[in-house]
Structures are given as C-alpha cells and as structure tokens.
C-alpha cells in the first residue's frame, strides 16, 4: 500500500507537462480497451454468423427460399448474409430483363457481391487503425514525458551546491512512470491489432471463397430460360 501511495504521490507532484502526458496515455488506454472489447464481440459474431449461414446454404436449401427468409427478417444484414442477399437480389433483377447476355448478368452479380463484401470488410476494419496508432505512438508519448521529467530533475540541480541521489530520484521516478504508462497503453493495443487484423483477413478470404462458389452456382442458372 505504501508503494502505491508513493506512486500516486509522484504522479500528483509531477510537472504539468508530465501530468498531461500521463492523462493522454490513460485516455488512450481506456479508448484502446473499449475498442478491443467491441471488436472482439463484433468479429466473433461475424464468424459465428458465417458458420451458421454456410451450413444453411450448403444444406441444399432452395436459393429463392433462403433469399426470401433473409429478406423477410428485415433490419440491416451483415456478413455473408449481406453478400448473398446482394448477389442473389442482383441476379434475380438482371435475369428478369429480356435479352441480357449471361456474361453481362454475371458481371453485375459479381459487382454487387464485391460492393457488399467491401462494405462488410470496411465495417470490420473500423477502429483498427486507431489501435495501430495507439500501439505505435504511446511509447513515444511516454518517452517524451520521461525526457521532460528528467530535464526538469537535472535543471533543479543547477540551483544547489551539492547534488545528491535523494534530490534527483523523485524527478527521475516520475519520469519513468510516464514510460511505463506508455508501454501499458501500447502493448495491449499492438497485440489486439495484430490479432484482429488476422481474423479480419481470414474472414475476407472466407468471403472471397464464398463469392467464387456462389458465382459458379449462379452461372449454371444464368442460361436464358426457354419459352
């Protein structure tokens, strides 16, 4: 308890610049953890939804029935459902146009699914750049606070006749606290960014694979219907 109180005392007695640096690092750490918890839940839900949809899709469900069931639920669609809905909806719309070549029809389907996929990836990657920024800049912000605190500590020695370790130790200690806080903010952000970026990349690959398989499936149905 005494050690904790001494740390709090050092923070309270730190110079204004060092205190501002510490406040910035605390705010960055809180923001980082908020993003981590939110992205963990979002990406986890996306993975679970993709697994459920793929099971229903490859279980032999009739595409029109599957499309109507998804469309009938209302609300905003996400993940693989959104890609499927965009692709099959465009396929149905373009196929109803008489005389449209199959190649042009499938090009429209691919474009619709790609737009839906890019929208999903953009949603998944939202705030990842913030984690990367916190992870890369927090150590330098903490280092700035450390350098400033050490400068103040040694500057104060210029007004005394004989310098002792006891005189400079508090200033150096408060400066090193800024470095520790910078690392505390940066390390979880870097780990989370790398983890989430990998999971998003895996989801993107999964969406690409589904797009190719679904396109091939629709292509077999894209031949003009005989009268």
What is the pTM assigned to this prediction?
A: 0.82
- Please indicate, yes or no, if residue 163 is contained in any of the structural domains: yes
- Which of 220, 24, 58, 213 lies closest to 133, judged by CA? 24
Name the helix (H) or strand (E) containing 57: helix 16-57
Question: For residue range 11-63, what is the model confidence (pLDDT) as tens digits?
Answer: 776 778 888 988 999 999 999 999 999 999 999 999 999 998 888 888 877 88
> Span 187-216, mean pLDDT?
94
- Which of 205, 223, 227 lies closest to 47, judged by CA? 205
> Span 113-119, mean pLDDT?
93
- Please indicate, yes or no, if residue 35 is contained in any of the structural domains: yes
The pLDDT-based confidence of 227 (bands split at 50, 70, 90) is very low
- Please indicate, yes or no, if residue 226 is contained in any of the structural domains: no
Highest mean pLDDT: which of 56-65, 66-75, 188-197, 216-225? 188-197
Q: Which domain holds residue 202?
A: 2-219
- Which of 184, 190, 193, 186 lies closest to 43, judged by CA? 193
The structural domain count of the chain equals 1
pLDDT given at position 189? 96
CA dist 186 and 28 (Å) reads: 9
Cite the DSSP H helix spans in 58-127. Answer: 63-72, 79-95, 102-125
Q: What is the mean pLDDT of the chain?
A: 84
Q: How many CB atoms lie within 10 A of CB 134?
A: 24
- Please indicate, yes or no, if residue 108 is contained in any of the structural domains: yes
- Please indicate, yes or no, if residue 68 is contained in any of the structural domains: yes
CA dist 171 and 198 (Å) reads: 42
Question: For residue range 140-185, what is the model confidence (pLDDT) as tens digits?
Answer: 999 988 888 888 777 666 666 565 656 666 667 777 888 889 999 9
Percent of the chain scoring above 90 in pLDDT: 41
- Please indicate, yes or no, if residue 180 is contained in any of the structural domains: yes
């Amino acid at each position: 308890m005494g050690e904790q109180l001494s740390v709090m005392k050092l923070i309270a007695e730190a110079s204004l610049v060092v205190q501002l640096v510490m406040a910035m690092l605390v705010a960055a750490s809180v923001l980082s953890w908020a993003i981590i918890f939110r992205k963990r839940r979002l990406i986890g839900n996306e993975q679970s939804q993709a697994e459920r949809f793929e099971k229903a899709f490859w279980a032999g469900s009739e595409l029109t029935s599957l499309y109507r069931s998804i469309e009938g639920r209302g609300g905003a669609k996400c993940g693989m459902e959104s890609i499927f809905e965009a692709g099959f909806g465009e396929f149905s719309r373009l196929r109803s146009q008489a005389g449209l070549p199959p190649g042009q029809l499938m090009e429209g389907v691919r474009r619709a699914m790609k737009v839906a996929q890019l929208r999903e990836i953009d949603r998944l990657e939202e705030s990842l750049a913030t984690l990367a920024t916190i992870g890369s800049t927090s150590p330098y912000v903490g280092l700035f606070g450390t350098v400033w605190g050490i400068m103040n500590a040694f500057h104060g020695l210029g007004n005394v006749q004989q310098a002792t370790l006891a005189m400079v130790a508090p200033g150096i200690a408060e400066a090193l606290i800024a470095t520790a806080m910078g690392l505390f903010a940066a390390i979880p952000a870097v780990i989370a960014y790398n983890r989430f970026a990998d999971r998003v990349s895996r989801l993107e690959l999964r969406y690409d694979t589904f797009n190719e398989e679904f396109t091939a499936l629709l292509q077999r149905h894209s031949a003009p219907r005989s009268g």
